[in-house]
Amino acid sequence: MAASSQRTDADGVREPWGDMHAWRVGGNQTLCGLALSRSRLSGFAHVLWSDAMWMVESASERPREARLCPRCRAIARRGHSKRPNWRRHRPRP
């Protein structure tokens, strides 16, 4: 998980906030192709993508400030592979 800003919860734990992107730990870019350093995104290795989706949907205070990247959401939905979900049967010669 990578995000443009952060906030702390009641227990003092850092949480992603702002524009949130799916990110694999150890990589230097998000699933949609944004570089972390050039986009000024902070990594949150302790937060899973599914947890971030729950946080955005259940945000009661200022829900417009938290936003999931639609491209990362689409890639994460189809399972991190770069191949399309469809397969051509009997292609032309």
Interval 22-77: pLDDT, tens: 888 888 889 888 998 899 999 998 888 888 877 777 766 555 678 888 888 888 77
- Pairwise pLDDT comparison (43 vs 90), residue with the higher score: 43
Q: Is residue 54 part of a domain?
A: yes
Question: Which three-class secondary structure state does DSSP give residue 14?
Answer: strand
Q: Is residue 92 part of a domain?
A: no
Q: Is residue 66 part of a domain?
A: yes
Task: Work out the number of other CB atoms within 10 angstroms of the CB of residue 18.
Answer: 14
Residue 2 contacts residue 21 (beta carbons within 8 Å): yes
pTM of the model: 0.72
Q: Is residue 88 part of a domain?
A: no
Question: Which three-class secondary structure state does DSSP give residue 77?
Answer: helix
Q: Is residue 62 part of a domain?
A: yes
Domains identified in the chain, total number: 1
Q: Is residue 29 part of a domain?
A: yes
Q: Is residue 85 part of a domain?
A: no
Residue 11 lies in domain: 2-78
Q: Is residue 86 part of a domain?
A: no
